[in-house]
């Protein structure tokens, strides 16, 4: 007999997706701070806000490729393995574009990787400890989904040209990463017990994502204040909740 707390695969994926949507609403409300894009009259290459955002995106883009690389040998389904390898390649392409833009603008393109925020490091360290494919992919559904809708969609809405060419390429690829996470979850979260564990890992990642978001806004705030170039928009919003 099917246990009462077992959900059909599609329903289960929808459940996790609505958890993600709730967190997204909180981020969109601004209660955790907002990204600051600076003065649009200044060319992006000279705008500190734009470079600071690109530097902060570097760690997750690069680390996600490493996390996928170490998990691929543990996945036996060939179609999923192949899609993970494709995602890994795309994440490294995004990383390469970020580095190139920063280096061309006279910044150190590797600073975001060499001096990451500890909150971001902890997210990926946590993902690496997860034992089952279902738990692993739950963190991708949450993490990839929120990354797309909090950072990239915001950049696209406010100032898409400033983040070109990174943004167009990343925006085109990210929906496929979310779809892979959904398909893998539907395939691997096959028992009530696995679904319970997967719900817990998704919940944990939501909390960590919010913590990482607040830390990033705080770092941007500090970095921009240090140069005397802060925009009033990002100012103190993050501090209210930190
Ligand atoms: Fe990416
Ligand atoms: Fe991605």
Domains of the chain: 45-241 (1.10.620.20)
155 and 171 Cβ atoms separated by less than 8 Å: no
Residue 1 binned pLDDT confidence (cut-offs 50, 70, 90): very low
Asked which of 3-7, 65-69, 139-143, 174-178 is least confident by mean pLDDT, the reply is: 3-7
Ligand nearest to the CA of 170: 1
Q: What is the pLDDT of residue 230?
A: 41
* Residues contacting residue 163 through CB under 8 Å, at least 6 positions apart: 44, 50, 53, 54, 155
| Global confidence as pTM | 0.89
Ligand 2 mean position, distance from CA 97 (Å):
14
Residue 85 binned pLDDT confidence (cut-offs 50, 70, 90): very high
Find the helix or strand (DSSP H, E) in which 231 lies. Answer: none
Instruction: Please compute Rg for the chain using Cα positions.
Output: 18
Ligand 2 mean position, distance from CA 228 (Å):
33
| Statement: residue 173 has pLDDT above 80 | yes
Ligand 2 mean position, distance from CA 187 (Å):
20
Ligand 1 mean position, distance from CA 69 (Å):
14
Ligand 1 mean position, distance from CA 174 (Å):
6
Residue 53 binned pLDDT confidence (cut-offs 50, 70, 90): very high
């Amino acid at each position: 007999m099917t246990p009462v707390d077992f959900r059909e695969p599609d329903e289960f994926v929808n459940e996790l997706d609505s958890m993600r949507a709730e967190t997204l609403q909180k981020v969109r409300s601004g209660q955790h701070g907002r990204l600051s894009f600076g003065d649009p009259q200044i060319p992006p290459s000279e705008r500190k806000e734009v470079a600071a955002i690109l530097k902060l995106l570097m760690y997750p883009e690069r680390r996600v490729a490493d996390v996928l690389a170490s998990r691929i040998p543990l996945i036996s389904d060939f179609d999923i393995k192949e899609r993970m390898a494709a995602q890994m390649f795309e994440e490294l392409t995004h990383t390469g574009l970020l580095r190139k833009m920063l280096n061309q603008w006279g910044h150190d393109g590797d600073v975001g990787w060499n001096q990451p925020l500890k909150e971001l490091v902890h997210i990926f360290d946590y993902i690496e400890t997860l034992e089952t494919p279902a738990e692993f992919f739950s963190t991708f559904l949450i993490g990839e989904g929120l990354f797309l809708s909090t950072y990239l969609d915001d950049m696209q809405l406010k100032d898409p040209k400033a983040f070109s060419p990174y943004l167009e390429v990343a925006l085109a690829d990210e929906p496929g990463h979310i779809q892979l996470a959904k398909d893998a979850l539907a395939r691997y979260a096959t028992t009530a017990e696995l679904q319970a564990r997967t719900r817990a890992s998704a919940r944990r990642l939501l909390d960590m994502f919010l913590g990482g978001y607040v830390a990033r806004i705080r770092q941007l705030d500090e970095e921009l204040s240090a140069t005397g170039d802060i925009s009033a928009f990002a100012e103190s919003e993050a501090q209210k909740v930190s």
